[in-house]
Copies of this chain bind each other. A is one copy, B any other.
Amino acid sequence: MSAIEDLTAELAKLPGIGRKTASRLTFFLLKQPPGAAESLAGAIQRVAERVNLCSTCGNFSEGDPCSICTDTRRDRGTVCVVEEASDIEAIERSAEFRGLYHVLGGHLSPLDGVGPDELRIDALRRRLENGSEVREVILATNPSMEGEVTATYLRGVLARAGLKVTRIALGLPIGGDLEYADRVTIARALAARTEMAE
């Protein structure tokens, strides 16, 4: 396989990029000034080499713990639970939240074989054990069927004296995806969060 066909095939593996778009991107890169394609290749390589999961919160990070977990200006009494690391970026853009995060790595989905053991729920429980300074857990799983089920499940297992468990307000449209919500909607949903009944 030639280098051009090889790159087109690699690009076509990306989500939302079909064969024609992959071919167009390949020729775009070929027509760039020297260094442009190398710069993109280098950026991908660096992400692959340097970025790992934060062992505390599960966020993608170049250090461990990540820059959010080690930020002393953030409120260590609040942990926002999200499905994916990409959701953190969306919430950070809203500038409404100054606490810490916990990435589950997905949502409960029995039909796909994703039960509680497949998510980072044990790690979350360890963060909340006696002696922890966490006072509130905000459940910010997606406003979808699976996200709701996951939030309800977590509400059931995250019991501890003095711990408040809240659900991000459903100002987000049901059936949507948190990652693509606009920042105003996210900010409003965070501000209007409500406590979950046990």
| Chain A positions near chain B (C-beta within 8 angstroms) | 2-4, 6-7, 9-11, 13-16, 20-21, 23-30, 36-48, 50-51, 60, 62, 84-86, 89, 179-180
7 contacts between A and B (CB under 8 A): A3-B62, A10-B43, A27-B60, A29-B47, A37-B48, A41-B41, A41-B42
Are B89 and A23 in contact, CB atoms less than 8 angstroms apart?
A: yes
Contact (A60, B30) CB under 8 Å given A25-B14, A45-B38, A89-B23? yes
B41 x A44 contact (CB < 8 A): yes
Question: Chain A at the B interface: mostly helix, strand, loop or mixed?
Answer: helix
Q: Which residues of B lie under 8 Å from residue A41 when comparing CB positions?
A: 41-42, 44-45, 48
Residues of B within 8 A of A84 (CB): 27
Among B38, B44, B50, point to the contact of A48 (Cβ < 8 A): B38
Copies of the protein in its oligomer:
2
- Structural contact, B25 and A15, CB atoms closer than 8 A: yes
Centre residue among A2, A36, A179 by max chain B CB count within 10 A: A2
Which of B37, B50, B62 is in CB contact (< 8 Å) with A44?
B37
B47 lies within 8 A of A7 (CB) = yes
CB of A30 within 8 A of CB of B15, answer no
User: What is the bound-complex CA distance between A11 and B17, given in angstroms?
Assistant: 13
Distance from A42 Cβ to chain B, minimum over Cβ atoms (Å): 7
Query: For A27, A44, A50, which residue has the most chain B Cβ atoms within 10 angstroms?
Result: A44
